[in-house]
Structure 1
Amino acid sequence: MSRAEPLFLDTPGGARFCLYHPPHGETRGALLYLHPFAEEMNKSRRMAALAARRLAARGVGVLQLDLHGCGDSAGEFHEARWDGWQADVKAGLDWLQARLGLQPGLWGLRLGALLGLDYAARAQQAPARLLLWQPVLSGAQHLNQFLRLRVAGEMLQEGGASGGTAALRARLQAGEVLEIGGYELHPALALALDGVDAARMAAPRCHVDWFEMVPEAGRPPAPASARLVDSWRAGGGEAQLATLAGPAFWTTQEIAEAPALLDASANTYPDTA
Structure 2
Amino acid sequence: MSAQQNIRIEPFFLPSEAGRLFCVSILPAENTPRAALLYLPPFAEEMHKSRRMSALQARRLAMAGYAVLLLDLTGCGDSWGDFSDARWDRWVDDALCAVRWMRETSGDVPLLLWGLRLGAVLAVEVSAQLPEVGGVMLWHPVTNGDLFLNQFLRIKLASEMLTEGRAQTGTRQLRERLRVGEPVEVGGYMLSPSLAKSIGSLRLDTMTPPSQSIWIDIVADAQSPVPPASDKTAKKWVDQGCRLLSIRVEGDSFWLTQEITECPGLLETTLDAVTRFLP
Pick the TM interval, shorter chain: over 0.9
Picking from 73, 76, 91, the partner of 2:97 is 91
1:225 CA displacement: 1.2
Instruction: Give the match for residue 118 of structure 1.
Output: 125
2:264 equivalent among 245, 252, 259: 259
Q: CA deviation at 1:132?
A: 0.6
Query: What's the counterpart of residue 242 of structure 1?
Result: 247
Residue of structure 2 in register with 1:57 after alignment? 63
The 5 A counterparts of 1:155-170 are 155-158=161-164, 160-170=166-176
List runs of 5+ in structure 1 lacking aligned partners. none
- Identity rate, percent: 44
Equivalent-residue separation in structure 1 for 2:144 and 2:222 (angstroms): 26
Residue 236 of structure 2: aligned partner = 231
Cα 1:39–1:196, aligned 2, differ >3 Å: closer, same or farther?
A: same
Indicate how the Cα distance of structure 1 residues 207 and 60 shifts in structure 2: closer, same or farther if over 3 A, else same. Answer: same
Which residue in 2 is equivalent to 1:12? 17
Q: Hey, what does 1:77 align to over in structure 2?
A: 83
List per-residue Cα deviations over 1:67-99 (Å, max 9, x = no partner): 000000010000110000000010111111111
Q: Distance in 2 between matches of 1:188 and 1:261?
A: 34
Gaps of 5+ in 2: 1-5
User: Offset at 1:124?
Assistant: 4.7
Root-mean-square deviation (CA), in Å?
A: 1.8
Mapped to 2, the partners of 1:70 and 1:195 lie a distance apart of 21
Decide whether the 8 Å contact of 2:7 with 2:59 is kept in 1.
no
- Distance in 2 between residues matched to 1:270 and 1:89, nearest whole Å: 23
Q: Does the CA-based 8 Å contact 1:221-1:242 persist in structure 2?
A: no
CA contact (8 A) 1:212 1:221 kept: no
Distance 1:269 1:192, change over 3 A: closer
Cα shift readout 1:230-252 (whole Å, capped 9, x = no counterpart): 11112221001111110000001
User: Partner amino acid for 2:61?
Assistant: L
AA paired with 1:113? A
TM-score (norm 1): 0.94
Matched with 2:114 is: 107
* Residue of structure 1 in register with 2:205 after alignment: 199
Q: Distance in 2 between matches of 1:51 and 1:222?
A: 26
Write the letter of the residue equivalent to 1:250.
Answer: W
Map 1:147-162 to 2 at 5 A. 147-158=153-164, 160-162=166-168
1:129-140 aligned at under 5 Å gives the runs 129-140=135-146
Equivalent residue letter for 1:148: R
Contact 2:36 2:67 in 1 (8 A): yes
